[in-house]
């Protein structure tokens, strides 16, 4: 059996595995796809102390660092069930059952897609999901934010300070964001809000050059010329496979304490799959370290 079994091989899981293995305890890491969301990222400019890097390059260094220690890496393996008996059992989709004294869940999250033509095609070519990450790339340009909930409106307020103009496109007849955010949004001179609008296409040639939406009241089609589209219709944690085994928020995020512990003794969690306030590479790595140290503490007490 393992002392620490990490589920998920993104920045949170890699960091947890390194911190655990450096304690000289038996550590394994199971990942559906090593690298996680970072594999899908082109430019990274907010990983502190590295001015600019690219996703796959950062993933290669993560992997190299993990391999520096005797960590069992089980890549291309999906976990499907977790159960606490005398040990914690993790069942994989291939039927194997792994046993460990502690488990750190770091299965990350995925941005909800709008699933319109152009979205996949122009990902990283004008279609973006993270205003903290990619906002500065659109300085002085025109962009749209799809989604008028809290994250969409926060993104629009954030972007309005950087870009030339922001169009917010909300499907429902009203914005869903908190009133204070809506008030702030409406006070900005370079923001237009379009409600009751269904995005039908993100247009472009080699990169984004516009967005098309349908006015749901009249059925009329409109096209706005712009250079960027931020999709803000939700970040979904990859925690469905856990069912009711541990406490999750109504959004499905795993609830953790300041040691990264869940409500199931011996099970810890880190990164975007948890209820952490912000989802970023550097934050995931910090919480991975916290969860590993939390697990180590648990091991020496049990």
CA angle in degrees (0–180, nearest 5) for 246-271-158: 120
148 touches ligand FAD by CB under 6 A: no
3-state secondary structure of 13: helix
Contact (CB, 8 A) for 26 and 285: no
3-state secondary structure of 58: helix
**Which tokens is 202 given?**
């993100």
Whole-angstrom distance, CA of residue 246 vs CA of residue 29? 20
19 touches ligand FAD by CB under 6 A: no
| 133 tagged catalytic | yes
290 touches ligand FAD by CB under 6 A: no
| Residue nearest to ligand FAD as judged by C-beta position | 108
136 versus 173: smaller Cβ distance to ligand FAD: 136
13 versus 210: smaller Cβ distance to ligand FAD: 13
Q: Give the x-and-dash track for 107-146 against ligand FAD (CB under 6 A).
A: xxx-x-----------------xx--x-------------
Kindly tell me the sign of the dihedral angle through the C-alpha atoms of 269, 285, 9, 41: positive
Whole-angstrom distance, CA of residue 175 vs CA of residue 156? 12
> From the centroid of its chain, how far is CA 10?
10
Contacts of 61 by beta carbon, 8 Å cutoff, 6+ apart: none
Q: Catalytic pick from 3, 32, 40, 134?
A: 134
Among 37, 102, 182, 227, binds ligand FAD (CB under 6 A): 37
64 versus 220: smaller Cβ distance to ligand FAD: 64
3-state secondary structure of 83: strand
232 touches ligand FAD by CB under 6 A: no
CB neighbours of residue 189 within 10 Å: 6
| 273 tagged catalytic | no
Size of the site for ligand FAD (CB under 6 A): 38
214 versus 282: smaller Cβ distance to ligand FAD: 282
The footprint of ligand FAD on residues 202-231 (CB under 6 A) is none
Q: Catalytic pick from 133, 142, 272, 273?
A: 133
58 touches ligand FAD by CB under 6 A: no
33 touches ligand FAD by CB under 6 A: yes
Whole-angstrom distance, CA of residue 131 vs CA of residue 134? 5
**Which tokens is 245 given?**
């085994």
Binding range to ligand FAD, per CB under 6 A, among 35-43, 155-163, 174-182, 188-196:
35-43
CB of 223 to ligand FAD, least distance (A): 25
Contact (CB, 8 A) for 29 and 129: no
Positions that interact with ligand FAD (CB under 6 A): 7-13, 30-34, 36-38, 40-41, 44, 46, 78-79, 106-109, 111, 129-130, 133, 238, 241, 271-272, 279-282, 284
């Amino acid at each position: 059996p393992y002392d620490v079994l990490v589920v998920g091989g993104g920045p949170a899981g890699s960091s947890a595995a390194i911190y655990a293995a450096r304690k000289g305890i038996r550590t394994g890491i199971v990942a559906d796809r090593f690298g996680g969301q970072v594999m899908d990222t082109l430019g990274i400019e907010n990983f502190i102390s590295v001015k600019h890097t690219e996703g796959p390059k950062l993933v290669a260094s993560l992997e190299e660092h993990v391999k520096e220690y005797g960590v069992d890496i089980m890549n291309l393996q999906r976990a499907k069930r977790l159960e606490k008996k005398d040990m914690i059992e993790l069942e994989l989709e291939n039927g194997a059952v792994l046993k460990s004294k502690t488990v750190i869940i770091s299965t990350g999250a995925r941005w909800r897609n709008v699933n319109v033509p152009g979205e996949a095609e122009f990902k990283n070519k004008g279609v973006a999901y993270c205003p903290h990450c990619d906002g500065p790339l659109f300085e002085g340009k025109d962009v749209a934010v799809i989604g008028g909930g809290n994250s969409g409106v926060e993104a629009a307020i954030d972007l309005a300070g950087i870009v030339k103009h922001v169009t917010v496109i909300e499907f429902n007849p009203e914005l869903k964001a908190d009133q204070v955010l809506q008030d702030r949004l409406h006070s900005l001179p370079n923001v237009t809000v379009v409600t009751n609008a269904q995005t039908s296409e993100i247009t472009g040639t080699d990169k984004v050059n516009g967005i098309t939406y349908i006015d749901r009241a009249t059925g009329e089609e409109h096209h706005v010329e712009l250079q960027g589209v931020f999709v803000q219709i939700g970040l979904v944690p990859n925690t469905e496979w856990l069912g009711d085994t541990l406490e999750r928020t109504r959004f499905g995020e795993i609830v953790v304490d300041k040691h990264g512990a869940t409500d199931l003794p011996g099970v810890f969690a880190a990164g975007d799959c948890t209820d952490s306030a912000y989802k970023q590479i550097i934050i995931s790595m910090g919480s991975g370290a916290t969860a590993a140290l939390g697990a180590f503490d648990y091991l020496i007490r049990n």
